[in-house]
């Protein structure tokens, strides 16, 4: 039976029990030793057309670096020359921009964001001025589909840092940043129209919804925040912008919502839908037909078909085995392959996706990563 968190009075003096190493006592964020077991999220941005994934990047918390791989036509991961690439202190989440030009990694203990340009062979090169300051204990980063703005969830500060992205990939804080969120924000997702942003708040058990202004500012949508289950850890929006899905680690389920024209969230009948033990990350494939959830304790990935109303139905054969501690799951932009980072296995499970959404391991899976791989992002093939 899992131990649920007991929030304290200040955002900088607690770490929920689920975010700590087993048996670790509650301490100030500034004194947490590496590695701290905390949620990291990735944002998968679907391109306008079906492009084959080209590179995959994995944030390794305990190694302090980023593994980089090229992806071949069979979904096999091959290390990029020069990997791993150095990051800050305890990198927990990675995101790439829509054009595969830049990658961004949030560093939990470093309280900053490492920014890189992506070379033609997938190598990462720091952009001028990197790393860029964030709030306390940043754990998630997302880039909007226009590649104009980046957003970072600051777990320890209960807010969202917002940046404009310069031509060279550098980050400049947006006026009014940071923007208030709920308690312990852990995941950021942006809808495909770049109109709305959604934040999963771990401790307040809800989802904050915002309208994104022309300059990247965040304004709460009507009715925000929206109730979720116990311990929401990640949020994803389907590529059509119709539905949002939130993993509730404490409730071992997935809350599903329809998205209104104003960005408001309305629960879908039948929600929440059952997942495995300690579900962590949810992602939707680029066809908006399937959703996948990584289950950290049951060591598997739940797969669902998405109905016309957004309801989730388990795919035959689900859940599919992973290695030890699957933490994040992502689908490539062509919808051909899925990948799960295995936090305690120090590797990445790779699957081909069948026409029915079934996951089949690709040859050579799993593939070695750094120590404690928390998050993975996949680029579209450069144009």
Is residue 116 predicted with pLDDT exceeding 80?
A: yes
Check: CB of residue 90 under 8 Å from CB of residue 108: yes
Domain presence at residue 91: yes
Domain presence at residue 3: no
Range of the domain at 103: 38-380
pTM, full prediction: 0.87
Domain presence at residue 260: yes
Query: Cα 240 vs. chain centroid, distance in angstroms?
Result: 18
- 50 compared with 198, residue with greater pLDDT: 198
Domain presence at residue 6: no
State the pLDDT confidence band at 134, using cuts at 50, 70 and 90.
Answer: very high
For residue 288, give both structure tokens. Answer: 């908006």
State the pLDDT confidence band at 16, using cuts at 50, 70 and 90.
Answer: very low
Q: Percent of the chain, pLDDT > 70? A: 85
- 243 secondary structure, DSSP code: E
- pLDDT value for 38: 33
Lowest mean pLDDT among 22-31, 75-84, 286-295, 373-382: 22-31
In sequence order, what DSSP letters do the residues of 107-142 get, joined into one string? ETTTTEEEEEEEPTTS-EEEPTT-SEE--SSEEEEE
Domain presence at residue 135: yes
Query: The domain spanning residue 167 has which CATH number?
Result: 2.130.10.10
State the pLDDT confidence band at 373, using cuts at 50, 70 and 90.
Answer: very high
Q: Percent of the chain, pLDDT > 90? A: 83
Domain presence at residue 7: no
Number of domains in the chain: 1
- pLDDT value for 380: 79
Tell me if residue 30 falls in helix, strand or coil: helix
State the pLDDT confidence band at 381, using cuts at 50, 70 and 90.
Answer: low
């Amino acid at each position: 039976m899992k131990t649920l968190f007991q929030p304290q009075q200040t955002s900088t003096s607690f770490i929920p029990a689920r975010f700590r190493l087993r048996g670790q006592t509650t301490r100030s964020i500034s004194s947490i030793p590496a590695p701290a077991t905390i949620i990291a999220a990735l944002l998968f941005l679907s391109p306008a057309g079906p492009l084959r994934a080209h590179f995959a990047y994995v944030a390794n918390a305990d190694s302090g670096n980023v593994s980089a791989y090229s992806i071949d036509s069979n979904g096999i991961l091959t290390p990029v020359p020069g990997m791993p690439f150095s990051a800050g202190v305890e990198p927990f989440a990675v995101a790439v921009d829509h054009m595969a030009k830049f990658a961004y990694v949030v560093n939990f203990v470093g309280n900053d964001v490492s920014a890189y340009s992506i070379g033609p062979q997938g190598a990462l090169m720091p952009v001028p001025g990197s790393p860029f300051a964030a709030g306390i204990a940043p754990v998630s980063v997302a880039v909007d589909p226009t590649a104009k703005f980046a957003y970072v969830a600051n777990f320890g500060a209960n807010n969202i840092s917002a940046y404009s992205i310069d031509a060279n990939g550098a980050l400049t804080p947006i006026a009014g940043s940071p923007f208030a969120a709920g308690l312990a924000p852990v995941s950021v997702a942006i809808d495909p129209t770049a109109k709305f942003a959604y934040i999963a708040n771990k401790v307040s058990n809800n989802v904050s919804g915002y309208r994104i202004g022309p300059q990247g500012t965040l304004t709460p949508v009507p009715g925000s925040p929206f109730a979720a289950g116990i311990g929401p850890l990640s949020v994803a929006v389907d590529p059509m912008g119709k539905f949002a899905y939130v993993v509730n680690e404490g409730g071992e389920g997935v809350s599903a919502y329809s998205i209104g024209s104003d960005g408001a969230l309305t629960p879908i009948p039948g929600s929440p839908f059952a997942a495995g033990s300690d579900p962590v990350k949810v992602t939707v494939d680029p066809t908006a037909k399937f959703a996948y959830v990584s289950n950290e304790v049951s060591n598997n990935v739940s797969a669902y078909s998405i109905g016309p109303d957004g309801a989730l139905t388990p795919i035959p054969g689900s859940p599919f085995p992973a290695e030890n501690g699957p933490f994040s799951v992502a689908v490539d932009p062509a919808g051909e392959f899925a990948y799960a980072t295995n936090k305690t296995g120090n590797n990445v499970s790779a699957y081909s996706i069948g026409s029915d959404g079934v996951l089949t391991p690709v040859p050579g899976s799993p593939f070695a990563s750094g120590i404690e791989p928390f998050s993975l992002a996949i680029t579209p093939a450069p144009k």
